[in-house]
Amino acid sequence: MTAQPVLLFDGDCGFCGTAVGLARRAVRPRAEIVPWQSADLAALGVTEERADREVLWIGRAGGPVHGGARAVAELLMSGRRRWRWLGLLLRTPPVGWVARGVYRIVADNRRRLPGGTALCALPARDRDTRTAP
């Protein structure tokens, strides 16, 4: 397993890539941030289907796997002090319940958001990112 937590995101999604870039610069999480397409999912204990559906936070050394809004909360908690309160808030009911709903709406509509493409809407098994010769 890993010495530090891992955040898996959809490397084929422009919106997701932009969001991760922003998090790297602003939050500076203490985690390895990896597109799920280039990760050893079996070693991390997650399936391709789950990784394709939501951002995932895998705790260090076989720790718990959190997805969606909870993964975002964990990312915030691992970053600079000024972001930790927001991570804690996202983990606390009823804000956490709302965050889960908002996350699902964003994830389901990421192709319509800035940086998103039609490719974002397809399941990984249906994506063909090769360019024609």
Sequence-ordered alpha helix ranges (H) in 79-118: 81-90, 95-108
pLDDT per position as a tens digit, 17-71? 999 999 999 999 999 999 999 999 999 999 999 999 999 999 987 789 999 999 9
Q: In DSSP terms, which residues pair with 10 in a beta bridge?
A: none
78 in any annotated domain: yes
| Mean pLDDT of the region 3-28 | 93
> Is residue 129 assigned to a domain?
no
Torsions phi, psi of 7, nearest 5? -110, 120
Q: Which residue has the higher pLDDT, 56 or 119?
A: 56
**Domain that includes residue 23, residue range:** 6-121
pLDDT reported for residue 121: 54
Q: What is the pLDDT of residue 133?
A: 35
Helix (H, G, I), strand (E, B) or coil at 39: coil
Residue 132 lies in a domain: no
